[in-house]
Amino acid sequence: MPTAFLLLMSVGSNYGQVCSTSFEGNIFSLEQNTPLESAVVEVIGSNMIVTSTASGYFKLEGLCPNSIIKIKISHINCPDYFGEIDLNKSLFENFYLDHKVEELSEIILSDDKINDLSTSSRFFSISELEKERYSDSGLATVLEKISGVNTLSTGNKVAKPVIHGMFGSRVGIIYDGVMLENQQWGQDHAPNLDLNAFDRVRVIKGASVLKYSGSNPGGLIIIDSSPPKINDTITGKTIINSSSNGRGGSIISSITSSRESGTFLRSQFTIKKNGDLSSPNYILSNTGSNEKNISITVGKNYSKSNIKALLSYFNSEIGILKNSHVGNIKDLLRAIESDSPDVINDFSYNINYPNQDNTHYTASLDYNYFFDSDKKLSSKYSFQLNKRKEYDLRIGDFKNIPSLDLNLSTQRINLNYTWSNLFNEFNNGIFFELQENYSNPGTGVKRLIPDYLNTKFGGYFISTFKLNRMLNFGLGFRYEYSSNDVYKYYRNFRWENENYEGRLGKYVINEVLSQKLIRKKVIFNTFSSNAGFFNEFEKKYSLSVQYNYTERSPNIAEMFSGGLHHSLASIEYGDPFLKKEKTHKILFDFEKNDGKFNFRINPYFSYSDDYILAQPAGFEQTIRGAFPVWEYSPISSIFKGVDLDFVYPIKDNIKFKNSVSWVNAKNYDTKEQLINTPPLVVNNEIRIISNNFKKFNAIIEHKFVSKQKLFPNNNTMTIVIESGKKISKVVDISTPPDAYNLFNLNLNWGPYNFVSSNIYFSLSIDNVMNKAYRNYLNRLRFYSDEAGRNVLFQIKIKY
Amino acid sequence: MLKNIYFRATLLSISLLLISCDKDDTPVAENEMEVFTKAVIVVTNLTDDSSETYNFEVEEHDHGHDHGVLPQTQDDDDHGDHTVIELKSSSEYKFEISFLNETDPNNIIDMTLAVMEEKDEHLVHYELAGNGIEIESYSGDTIDSNGNAMNLITKWTTSTATEIDVEAYLIHQPTSKTGNTRDDFGGATDVEIEFEAHVE
């Protein structure tokens, strides 16, 4: 909707009169030169709206002669077109809607065209150009383009999104209408998802969409594909990437075939491979990775219903920086004190230990039934199976055996009923979910995550009211019952230390060696709600205010994990008595979208009770020395922050974009800062679109990441022998690295016609200055610099 | 109509869900299989062939909780009870170190064998906080394929009376097998024990 006002000027006053002039025309797609059906033609400032026919034809009637009208043409697959028509001169015109422009559309603008989320929260979307540019990278990298979204990583390829300073279970990923259920137990567990299998990426910052989930105070990432057209077409896209850093590349290809009869088939695959990446000064040994993904969707549209089935397979094998596997705290200290890794081998494509092997299977079935044009019943069954194997540096017979071997399977049924009228929309639904986690025995390492069976069910009710053309109001509730049937082995020494006998003794079902097996049902009832409004005024400003109350039940890792983190030389424990986490969050979104200078400001504030955070909790003695223990424990937390975006056209063809995000997160009681709070980030971007040579554009990006000065002190001390003397040293795991500036360049050419298809070329250089830097939010920052310069060449063919 | 569809869909869903969830649920215990729980040093006086055995074991205990107390400090004393190895001045001793996994008392695993099997990837290093003791590889020690001694068996030569703190390390995948301090070897520490050598 806001795009609607980009070019809007004062509106004439003569629409109230009854006139009889008509204006007609045809709408075509610029690239394919084919008629566009169902394009919406609107006379701005009036209630006059028509849609185009199958041949792209439209007719506006009842216009006043000799007037000048302003029209807006919108279509689901194209950006909005705005034009001024002088009825004196013309009563017929053809319009060509441009796909190319869409690729350049700004993420600063939200896209209200697809109002399928049933929420009054505002969202940000990633443009197709940006999505394709980062097709060789992972999901988290693309999302960093959005203000307020950061990346928490382990090395270069394992990255998970952080929204408004929150991450992990607090950020949900919805793909094709289901919550992604993969192992998300730690910072080194990234989402197992191929972005290239989908068309659209949208981010709701700081709020859940109650239709999908009620437990994500950080935000939600929604990834899906637009429904295919109902006509006889075959469309497809192939992207070939070649990158210098890591000497890697990828091939991504998709094809969609649809028929007039309503059937369609979409298939897609991605193959990626890279060898060891390089930082500016050295090779990052064992950072190669491989990825293979494939997905197939088939569907059929009937007059009153549609059905869709999806099958997908995702596999990634990721090498973890060789020297990040440390034996004890002194090894960690040595790494911190050293400028470069102590293992630097020659470049190789081999992936040795440590590494991760993740596989994710999805099968889903959708069925939608339309009772009338305004009532719809949707049902969805989905099955997800996530297999995760982690290999460490081990010895003897266990050298080639994973030290972590987990299978997580999730089945979910969702029924949703939507009814709407011109002004209001109601959504309600119920769901039932079964999730089972199973650790393959025989790893020779105690389970990090216990075996469990989780049963979940609940329901939601969401309503959005359009009080008038300018004011939207939304209200939603969601209830979830969650029961975890957990089988957990406790080591006797831990059991005694924590005095578990009194509280957990009655759940012991078996005792072996120095361990006790308990079986316990952990039940949570959570209730989440939101309320908010969205108001446009003076046709150029909009304000959205949202209040979200989120209850999140602790995840299994927070309650029951127990194990060693090799890269942090620390032991992590869950707390089986955690309560549900309760967050109140208020978000504001103020936007100006008219004239030259456009901006968007998002301040937010949240307070959480029983916010679950891993905190230092003493030491545990092992034969390798003392290990710091981190335990999940509840605190009261306060987050406040602001995201700011603006766009300013310096000239017609040069646009300046800027975004700033800042967040501050504290323990409410101790006033101590929370660990891993993203530092201040400033993004600047200059886009140059050549006027004369239409098929070229250049983007120069600058990113400034400040030094995070607010951080908790989690340092430990250790004793080392230096120059024949025992001395005590601080292991500084707390101090964030220095600020840095990065420059990227992105050049795009195209489209060019090539055997009835369009071909595009792009050349990108990331980290142009080959800057050596370290990132506070990278868990392996103690061991090496980030990757250096990368030259990426991309060929894109659309057919 | 609506009720009917709801009902059928629910029925179908539940039957689908129930297909896959009945199996024996009790997970088997997982033992730490390649972990080191104990180091043993047998010290033999090369003059009179008398020997003494020293065990280094970690009694699992936690140093309690100290939420909010910052910065954390670790006790100087890494291993509760200090082990003292008594040596005579101007003498020669054989130090034989071995490693055990005693997680399962009914199945004690001698990890030294695995370490010797991967001789190129392991190294024992003794680091001394002081002077007065010379340490070198001794006959019977395992030599890796590059001719480097593993230091599983070493000869300690003492001179004058002194008291020296010693750290003994078993290093996995050392980046170098030559050096004097722990830092020179890189790699990951698999075992780290400490004792005092009292030379009288």
Tokens coding B30: 């997982």
pLDDT at position B12 over 60: no
Using CB atoms, pick whichever of B67, B129, B171 lies closest to residue A725.
B129
Contacts of B72 in chain A (CB under 8 A): 616, 618-619, 628, 714-717
Predicted structure pTM score: 0.85
Would A139 be classed as within a structural domain? no
Contact B192 A623 (CB under 8 A): yes
- Number of Cβ within 10 Å of residue A730's Cβ equals 16
More confident residue, B65 or A243: A243
Calpha distance A664→A153 (Å, rounded): 20
pLDDT at position A415 over 60: yes
Contact A730 B71 (CB under 8 A): yes
Last residue of a domain, one of A68, A97, A126: A97
**Beta strands per DSSP E along A196-321:** 200-205, 219-224, 233-243, 248-258, 263-274, 277-278, 283-284, 289-301, 305-319
pLDDT at position A480 over 80: yes
Q: Looking at residues A481-489, what average pLDDT do you find?
A: 95
User: Cβ of B7 under 8 Å from any chain A Cβ?
Assistant: no
Using CB atoms, pick whichever of B114, B115, B173 lies closest to residue A393.
B173
pLDDT at B81: 56
Tokens coding A561: 């994990």
* Structural domain that includes position A614: 224-798
Cβ neighbours for B11, distance < 8 A, ≥ 6 positions apart: none
Q: Is A486 helix (H, G, I), strand (E, B) or coil?
A: strand
For B119-133, write each residue's pLDDT tens digit: 999 999 999 999 999
Report whether A532 contacts A464 (CB < 8 A): no
In the numeric block, the tokens 């190319």 are attached to A100
Predicted confidence band at A731 (pLDDT cuts at 50, 70, 90)?
A: very high
Contacts of A716 in chain B (CB under 8 A): 71-74
pLDDT at A693: 60
In the numeric block, the tokens 């104990």 are attached to B38
CATH number at residue A64: 2.60.40.1120
Contact B9 A367 (CB under 8 A): yes
For A355-407, write each residue's pLDDT tens digit: 999 999 999 999 999 887 678 899 999 999 999 999 988 888 888 999 999 99
More confident residue, A683 or A13: A683
Report which of A413, A499, A488 is spatially closest to residue A456, judged by C-alpha positions: A413
Report which of A385, A377, A388 is spatially closest to residue A428, judged by C-alpha positions: A377
**CA contacts within 13 A on the Cβ side of A668:** 16
Q: Is A422 helix (H, G, I), strand (E, B) or coil?
A: coil
pLDDT at A50: 85
User: Cβ of B135 under 8 Å from any chain A Cβ?
Assistant: no
Q: Looking at residues A142-147, what average pLDDT do you find?
A: 91
Calpha distance B123→B118 (Å, rounded): 10
In chain A, the number of structural domains is 2
Predicted confidence band at B70 (pLDDT cuts at 50, 70, 90)?
A: very low
Calpha distance A87→A23 (Å, rounded): 8
Last residue of a domain, one of A47, A76, A97: A97
Contacts of B5 in chain A (CB under 8 A): 369, 377
Contact B181 A722 (CB under 8 A): yes
Report whether A152 contacts A676 (CB < 8 A): yes
Would A215 be classed as within a structural domain? no
ipTM of model: 0.83
Q: What is the domain partition of chain B in residue ranges?
A: 32-57+78-199
Minimum distance, in Å, between the CA of residue B48 and any CA atom of chain A? 31
Report whether A661 contacts A646 (CB < 8 A): no
pLDDT at A97: 73
pLDDT at B24: 55
Contact A396 B34 (CB under 8 A): yes
User: Cβ of B19 under 8 Å from any chain A Cβ?
Assistant: no
CATH number at residue A716: 2.40.170.20
pLDDT at A113: 36
Residue in B with minimal Cα distance to A571: B62
Contact A672 B28 (CB under 8 A): no
Q: Looking at residues A443-458, what average pLDDT do you find?
A: 92
pLDDT at position A531 over 80: yes
Would A188 be classed as within a structural domain? no
Cβ neighbours for A548, distance < 8 A, ≥ 6 positions apart: A206, A207, A208, A217, A528, A529, A530, A583, A584, A585, A586, A587
Give the lowest-confidence range in A421-425, A645-649, A764-768. Answer: A421-425
pLDDT at B64: 38
pLDDT at position B66 over 70: no
pLDDT at position B35 over 90: no
Whether cis (ω within 30° of 0) applies to the bond prior to A751 is yes
pLDDT at position A8 over 70: no
Give the lowest-confidence range in A20-24, A249-253, B46-50, B187-191. Answer: A20-24
Tokens coding B200: 């009288």
Question: Which H/E stretch holds residue B41?
Answer: strand B38-45
Would A362 be classed as within a structural domain? yes
Predicted confidence band at A78 (pLDDT cuts at 50, 70, 90)?
A: low
Calpha distance B152→A453 (Å, rounded): 48
**CA contacts within 13 A on the Cβ side of B142:** 20
Contact B188 A513 (CB under 8 A): no
User: Cβ of B120 under 8 Å from any chain A Cβ?
Assistant: no
Tell the burial category of A615 from Cβ atoms under 10 Å away from its Cβ (0-12, 13-18, 19+). buried
Please tell me what DSSP assigns to residue A196: G
Minimum distance, in Å, between the CA of residue B94 and any CA atom of chain A? 22
In the numeric block, the tokens 């323990």 are attached to A667
pLDDT at B105: 81
pLDDT at A117: 57
Q: Looking at residues A221-245, what average pLDDT do you find?
A: 88
Question: Which H/E stretch holds residue A526?
Answer: strand A515-537
Residue in B with minimal Cα distance to A714: B71
More confident residue, B60 or A610: A610
Tokens coding A263: 């059937």
Predicted confidence band at B63 (pLDDT cuts at 50, 70, 90)?
A: very low
Q: Which of B3, B10, B35, B109 to mutate to test the interface with A (most CBs of A within 10 A)?
A: B35
pLDDT at position B68 over 50: no
Q: Looking at residues A61-70, what average pLDDT do you find?
A: 81
pLDDT at A106: 37
Q: What percent of chain A has pLDDT over 70?
A: 93
pLDDT at position A540 over 90: no
pLDDT at B77: 40
Cβ neighbours for A499, distance < 8 A, ≥ 6 positions apart: none
Contact A616 B58 (CB under 8 A): no
Contacts of A334 in chain B (CB under 8 A): 182-183, 186
User: Cβ of B50 under 8 Å from any chain A Cβ?
Assistant: no
Cβ neighbours for A569, distance < 8 A, ≥ 6 positions apart: A326, A327, A328, A329, A331, A332, A627, A628
How far is CA A358 from its chain centroid? 18
In the numeric block, the tokens 């999806």 are attached to A310
Arithmetic mean of pLDDT over chain A: 87
Predicted confidence band at A476 (pLDDT cuts at 50, 70, 90)?
A: very high
For A612-656, write each residue's pLDDT tens digit: 999 888 888 888 888 889 999 999 999 999 999 999 988 878 989
Q: Which of A380, A621, A713, A715 to mutate to test the interface with B (most CBs of B within 10 A)?
A: A621
pLDDT at A138: 86
Q: Which of A721, A723, A725 to mutate to test the interface with B (most CBs of B within 10 A)?
A: A721
pLDDT at position A304 over 90: no
- Number of Cβ within 10 Å of residue A54's Cβ equals 11
Would A243 be classed as within a structural domain? yes
CATH 3.90.480 at B32-57+78-199, yes or no: no
Give exposure, A350-388, as e/b (b: 16+ Cβ within 10 Å).
ebebbbbbbbbbbebbbbbbbeeeeebbbbbbbbbbbbb
Give the lowest-confidence range in A198-212, A780-794, B173-187. Answer: A198-212
- Number of Cβ within 10 Å of residue B52's Cβ equals 12
pLDDT at A105: 35
pLDDT at position A468 over 90: no
DSSP bridge partners of A163: A149, A166
Between chain A and chain B, the number of residue pairs with CB atoms below 8 A apart is 238
For A258-295, write each residue's pLDDT tens digit: 888 889 999 999 999 999 999 999 999 999 999 999 99
Last residue of a domain, one of A39, A72, A97: A97
pLDDT at B1: 47
Minimum distance, in Å, between the CA of residue B56 and any CA atom of chain A? 8
Contacts of A635 in chain B (CB under 8 A): none
pLDDT at position B143 over 80: yes
Report which of A455, A601, A676, A552 is spatially closest to residue A220, judged by C-alpha positions: A552
Contacts of A636 in chain B (CB under 8 A): none
User: Cβ of B2 under 8 Å from any chain A Cβ?
Assistant: yes
Q: Is B116 helix (H, G, I), strand (E, B) or coil?
A: helix
Using CB atoms, pick whichever of A369, A395, A432 lies closest to residue B115.
A395
Would A510 be classed as within a structural domain? yes
Calpha distance A550→B168 (Å, rounded): 52
Which amino acid, A389?
Answer: K
Judgement on whether residues A90 and A229 belong to the same structural domain of the protein: no
Contacts of A618 in chain B (CB under 8 A): 62-66, 72
Would A64 be classed as within a structural domain? yes
Contacts of B177 in chain A (CB under 8 A): none
Using CB atoms, pick whichever of A367, A493, A624 lies closest to residue B190.
A624
Calpha distance A231→A75 (Å, rounded): 16
Best-predicted range by mean pLDDT (A18-32, A322-336, B46-60):
A322-336
pLDDT at position A16 over 80: no
Report whether A330 contacts B191 (CB < 8 A): no
Calpha distance A296→A48 (Å, rounded): 41
Judgement on whether residues A231 and A93 belong to the same structural domain of the protein: no
pLDDT at B15: 54
Which amino acid, A102?
Answer: E
Report whether A412 contacts A382 (CB < 8 A): yes
Judgement on whether residues A544 and A395 belong to the same structural domain of the protein: yes
